[in-house]
Amino acid sequence: MAKAQHNGFSNSFGVVMAAAGSAVGLGNIWRFPYICGQYGGGAFLLVYLIFVFFIGMTLLMCEFSIGRRTRRAPVKAYPALRGGGNGWKLIGVVGIVTCFMILSIYLVISGWTLNYFWESLTGSLFGDSGGFDTHFTGFAADSMRPVIFMLIFLLLGLVVILCGVKNGIESISKLLMPLLLVLVLVLCVRSLTLPGAIKGLDYLFHPDFGKLGPQGVLAALGQSLFSLSVGMGTMVVYGSYIPEKDNILKSCVWITVCDVAIAVLAGIAIFPAVFSCGLEPDKGAGLVYVVLPEVFHSFGFGTRLFAMLFFLLLSLAALTSAISLHETLTAFLCDCGMKRVPAAVLVAVLEGALAAAVAITFTGETPETAADRTFFDWMDYLTATVLPPVCALLTVLFFGWFMKKEDIVDELSNHGKLKIGWFGVYYKVLVRWVAPVALLLVLILGMMGYIK
């Protein structure tokens, strides 16, 4: 099979940092702590860990193998493994469409975060007499500010992508991931040393199986996919940059460990602080942009510093994730024959326009549209609940039932150089049955409205 030439990652460390950069994002720091608390703390964590290591990691391994084997972006990768057949393109197409949509929302929320970082830096976040709730609604409903910050964020990502896979994406991930770990640890220490911090830890870790329920189980599965950036073709693209010598299975374990660790640390940084201030953990956007500024405000000393550190942490985590989505779309266009620079710029222009539309339609208030959802809500629902499990399901079915097993073993064992005797059982049980059935379940129930 003719392999397209890619300028890939330099070594295993680069692979782990770049992929962890994609995985660790708003999903870990913004979404995970809140849903973990909502669905029974330790109980959710346990189910999430099972899903992330068994289902999410399986998907990661599938996408990496498909990418490295073909050295192609998603749309062409699947047919290449079947010796043609245009129907297989569909899997990649679903991934690309999902990426395109998710990036627009991601850019909007990242823009908010960057704005909050800026406002913490200048102090204007704490100068508003109307309260943080009004501050956030006012900001989100502004027709210019969210768009400007979103565009700045988009440009930052574009610059990294234009520097290339190794010099741009890999280098920035190697720099930012350790920095992120330090930042989150500093915030954990601050949070844990506040009076009454233990209540927050209890909320996060105490296993309350009564609160879990089927919805919590399904939310854990959805979160495990989103958090590992699988089900969108992103890891197929990153897989196509993995060097021949890398041990894919080992890298997958490391990436998953990094992803889970940052999510749990983010919970430890957030909840004890929230409880210590006598506040209730609100959900989603509210927690980070409304409750947390209130928490930082009540610190007395270091308000601006800790707010700045937190929003810097969130912006940097979001940046490497947004870059991976941008790169996926760029790689897809390159695979269709475009040159890298115009491809990356074209993606930036299209995404900039879509994200501006999303930002402008978001008012932060109750939607007035017919189906009770705004444009923003629809995009969020489709990209978080429906499309990734569809793409993940098709991917795992393709990998388990349509890709030659000899090719898979050859790829994962680095052409027989690594011993992977246990892989047969893993393949038969998890890849062929457990993962597809679990994904089918989450998809059906998700579309029936069980999870949001």
Question: Cβ distance 313 to 81 under 8 Å?
Answer: no
Cβ proximity to ligand PFF: between 197 and 267 the closer is 267
* Shortest spacing between CB 304 and ligand PFF, in angstroms: 26
| Nearest CB to ligand PFF, comparing residues 58 and 321 | 321
Segment interacting with ligand PFF, rule: CB under 6 A, options 59-67, 114-122, 229-237, 334-342: 229-237
Q: Whole-angstrom Cα distance, residue 25 to residue 263?
A: 9
293 binds ligand PFF (CB under 6 A): no
227 sits near ligand PFF (criterion: CB under 6 A): yes
Q: How many CA atoms does the CB half-sphere of 105 hold within 13 Å?
A: 18
- The least CB distance from residue 323 to ligand PFF, in Å, is 9
Nearest CA among 21, 26, 23, 27 for reference residue 9: 21
Choose one: 26-34, 48-56, 199-207, 436-444; the region binding ligand PFF (CB under 6 A): 26-34
Q: Which two tokens stand for residue 441?
A: 């379940």
Count of chain residues binding ligand PFF (CB under 6 A): 15
Tell me the C-alpha distance between 128 and 293, whole Å: 11
Q: In terms of CB distance, is 279 or 285 closer to ligand PFF?
A: 285
Tell me, residue by residue from 54 to 73, as one string, x for binding to ligand PFF by CB under 6 A and - for no binding.
Answer: --------------------
By CB under 6 A, tell whether 197 contacts ligand PFF.
no
Token pair in block for residue 154: 């988009």
**Cα–Cα distance measured from residue 19 to residue 108, given in angstroms and rounded to the nearest whole number:** 22
Cα separation, 197 vs 190, in Å, equals 10
Q: Which is nearer to ligand PFF, 29 or 273 (CB)?
A: 29
Q: Which residue in the set 22, 65, 256, 385 belongs to the binding site for ligand PFF (CB under 6 A)?
A: 22
Asked whether position 26 contacts ligand PFF by CB under 6 A, the answer is: yes
Helices 89-122 & 387-397, crossing angle to 10 degrees?
140
Residue whose C-beta lies closest to ligand PFF: 27
Q: Which stretch binds ligand PFF (CB under 6 A): 18-26, 117-125, 243-251, 329-337?
A: 18-26
Among 39, 44, 64, 226, binds ligand PFF (CB under 6 A): 226
Footprint of ligand PFF on residues 381-420 (CB under 6 A)? none
Among 23, 348, 358, 431, interactor with ligand PFF by CB under 6 A: 23
Contacting residues for 422 by C-beta, under 8 A, at least 6 apart: none
List strand residue ranges (DSSP E) for 188-245, in order. none
In the complex, minimum distance from the CB of residue 236 to ligand PFF, in angstroms, rounded to a whole number: 10
Closest approach of ligand PFF to the CB of residue 26, in Å? 4
Q: How far is the CB of 176 from ligand PFF (least distance, A)?
A: 14
Positive or negative torsion for Cα 30, 117, 326, 167: negative
Closest among 331, 430, 341 to 70, alpha carbons compared: 331
| Contacts (Cβ under 8 Å, ≥6 apart) of 346 | 333, 338
User: 192 or 382: whose CB is closer to ligand PFF?
Assistant: 382
Burial class (CB in 10 A: 0-12, 13-18, 19+), 77: buried
The footprint of ligand PFF (CB under 6 A) covers 22-23, 25-28, 99, 226-227, 229, 232, 234, 321, 324-325
